Amino acid sequence: MKNFRFLLEYDGSRYYGWQRQPEKNTIQGKLEHVLQLMCGKETEVIGAGRTDAGVHAKGMVANAWLETEMSCVEIRDYMNRYLPEDIAVREVKEASPRFHARYNATGKTYRYTCQEGAVKSVFDRKYCLRLEERPELARMQRAAELLKGEHDFKNFCINPRMKKSTVRHVDKIQITREGEYLYFTFHGNGFLQNMVRIMVGVLLEAGYGRITPEEIEEALKASARQKAGPTAPAAGLCLIEVDYH
């Protein structure tokens, strides 16, 4: 048995997220099915995180223990041959026995994409949020400064029964415009369920002048749970990279 590390990308449009679920299309389920075919036995694939339904990835990292004589290139090619077209294995490497894709991750980068222009993009519609209004960039950038740093993000999480710590450190929020596209890039040591999408929703509302800086600060400091702001749709979100020491 050897521990293998995988670099993956996928279009999450038709999947119920990463995590295996009975009778549902999931990324983990598809990967485990192909590896079971390859090795002749059930195999668990451990992902660096659990992306939600409809969320995409360009740099998801996973690992699995396999009993095989195939080389890393042969494993990659076998998986890509039998995986659906919207999931791809970019790279396979043999990892140390101690490597764990989730527990060893030290940070993640997510990007959220919006499209603003007068005419909608037909081909990008599954990968961005179409905006009917143009938010003010300077307002969003000022609001983003309030979200940076270490905070208790419990009001930026969709799971009200979260038992583990909801404190996270977000060290980068970059908001840029390129032509008709608006990009939000987030880097932190970890993100709660729907946290990035809620932050995007809050920042857009700030850009429209519907949420004040004081309301954002209150959402971060409130002892009781409250809704921080709207949750942006899943389609615009993509996991770009996972960090490891």
For 57-106, how does the pLDDT look when each residue is reduced to its tens digit (9 = 90+)? 999 999 999 999 999 999 999 999 999 999 999 999 999 999 999 999 99
| Backbone torsions φ then ψ of 111, nearest 5 degrees | -130, 135
Say what the pLDDT of residue 208 is.
97
Q: How confident is the model at residue 117 (pLDDT cuts 50, 70, 90)?
A: confident
Helix or strand holding residue 21 (H, E) = none
Contact 197, 112 (CB under 8 A): yes
- pLDDT higher than 80, residue 161: no
What phi, psi does 150 have (nearest 5°)? -95, 125
Does position 4 have pLDDT exceeding 80, yes or no? Answer: yes
The overall average pLDDT reported for the chain is 95
Helices (H), the chain: 27-39, 72-82, 137-147, 195-207, 213-221
Q: Is residue 243 flagged as an active site residue?
A: no
pLDDT digits (tens, 9 = 90+) for 200-238: 999 999 999 999 999 999 999 887 667 788 999 999 999
| Percent of the chain predicted with pLDDT > 70 | 99
In the predicted structure, residue 163 carries a pLDDT above the cut 90: no
User: Which listed residue (11, 52, 124, 152) is catalytic?
Assistant: 52
Whether the Cβ atoms of residue 206 and residue 216 lie closer than 8 Å to each other: yes
**Mean pLDDT computed over 132-158:** 95
6-36 pLDDT tens trace = 999 999 999 999 999 999 999 999 999 999 9
Q: Provide φ and ψ at 5, rounded to 5°.
A: -110, 135
